[in-house]
Amino acid sequence: MRDAIREALSEEMRLDPKVLIMGEEVAEYNGAYKVTQGMLDEFGPKRVIDTPISELGFAGVAVGASMNGLRPVVEFMTFNFALLAIDQIVNSAAKMKAMSGGQFECPIVFRGPSASAGQLGAQHAQSFENWYANVPGLKVISPSTPYDSKGLLKAAIRDNNAVIFMESEMMYGDAGEVPEGEYIIEIGKADIKRAGTDVTIVSFNKMMKVALGAAEELAKEGISAEVIDLRTIRPMDHDTIIQSIKKTNRLVIVDESWPFGGISSEVTYIAQRYAFDYLDAPIRRINGADSSMHYAPNLVEAYLPSVERTVKACKEICYVA
């Protein structure tokens, strides 16, 4: 996945001299996760820019650059650190086009890892997709495969709006097929990663591994699960979710974020608003625990959604003992 993201960045920088990347350790150190490895040598220090440890400062610089014709990609070492820059993201990047009456566009991508990555403690393990998706003016992308990451990041860089592109530290080493030729994935389109007939499982980012793992286990017991990867949180592809529910009549959402006001809540609303008459069982949500993440490995395991919890929920609504 790190190679796919690097390919997307490099290809767009070769195509458009206005594209640049900036963030902590993206240049001399080749990136905290080696996503930008070799890019300083190819593009030079004016387009691959190491920044001070000041998220609010360099996010503001990037917003100003985007208003003046550049297309910055801002890497946060983790979206937990992006909280320091949230004023520039929410009050400047997201609102600039509306506040200026369309005089200023803000073509900017804020990217980096979100959510948990093992034993990193409470301040480095938070899933913020729902926070940013709550803000009009921001598009939010959270992919689960190298193929999707490359195609969606290229689309994000070309978009004239502010885009939040959320990755996972635990997936940078994941392998997957990526075509050699040019391709773009449309922002706002979910993907059915596994077709099924008995229950719909909706998820995104690394929780797709839980969803697909649950589908494998359910298949052993004769339950056919359809697994939908949202890919884009905002705008969300309601139609794919609704059409799947009309086929399976059951819905389970796997979402690492906290249960209160999470992505799972939004998907639940969409299902009840537009597909209520097709539901044959209550909707089930599998979320992270409603608490801070702890450091101990047994508590990390207890906190996160799991294959076992997902399988149990699916079996319960499929009326399987």
Amino acid 257 reads: S
Dist CA 164 CA 187 (whole Å): 12
Class of domain 2-171: alpha beta
Element (H, E) at 140: strand 138-141
Dist CA 150 CA 155 (whole Å): 9
Amino acid 217 reads: E
- What DSSP line would sit under 72-94, residue for residue? EEEEPS-TTGGGGGHHIIIIIIT
Three-state secondary-structure class, residue 158: helix
pLDDT in 10s for each residue of the chain, 321 residues: 999 999 999 999 999 999 999 999 999 999 999 999 999 999 999 999 999 999 999 999 999 999 999 999 999 999 999 999 999 999 999 999 999 999 999 999 999 999 888 888 888 899 999 999 999 999 999 999 999 999 999 999 999 999 999 999 999 999 999 999 899 999 999 999 999 999 999 999 999 999 999 999 999 999 999 999 999 999 999 999 999 999 999 999 999 999 999 999 999 999 999 999 999 999 999 999 999 998 999 999 999 999 999 999 999 999 854
Q: Is the peptide bond before 235 cis (omega within 30 degrees of 0)?
A: yes
CA-nearest of 237, 236, 232, 249 to 196 is 249
Q: Where in the chain is the domain with CATH 3.40.50.970?
A: 2-171
Q: Name beta bridge partners: 111.
A: 75, 165
Dist CA 38 CA 44 (whole Å): 10
Q: Where in the chain is the domain with CATH 3.40.50.920?
A: 191-317
Dist CA 234 CA 134 (whole Å): 9
Dist CA 120 CA 125 (whole Å): 6
Dist CA 223 CA 87 (whole Å): 46
Three-state secondary-structure class, residue 254: strand
Which ranges in the chain belong to alpha helices (H)?
A: 2-15, 39-43, 55-67, 86-87, 96-99, 129-133, 146-158, 207-220, 238-248, 263-275, 297-303, 307-317
The residues that are catalytic are 55, 124
* 310 touches 286 (CB < 8 A): yes
Q: Quick one: three-class SS letters along 274-311?
A: HHHHHCCCCCEEEECCCCCCCCCHHHHHHHCCCHHHHH
Instruction: Assess if CATH 3.40.50.920 describes domain 191-317.
Output: yes
* Residue 295 structure tokens: 């450091």
* 255 touches 309 (CB < 8 A): no
Q: What is the predicted pLDDT for the residue at 312?
A: 96
Please classify residue 75 by burial: count the beta carbons closer than 10 Å to its beta carbon, then call 0-12 exposed, 13-18 middle and 19+ buried: buried
Q: What is the predicted pLDDT for the residue at 321?
A: 43
Predicted TM-score of the model (pTM) = 0.95
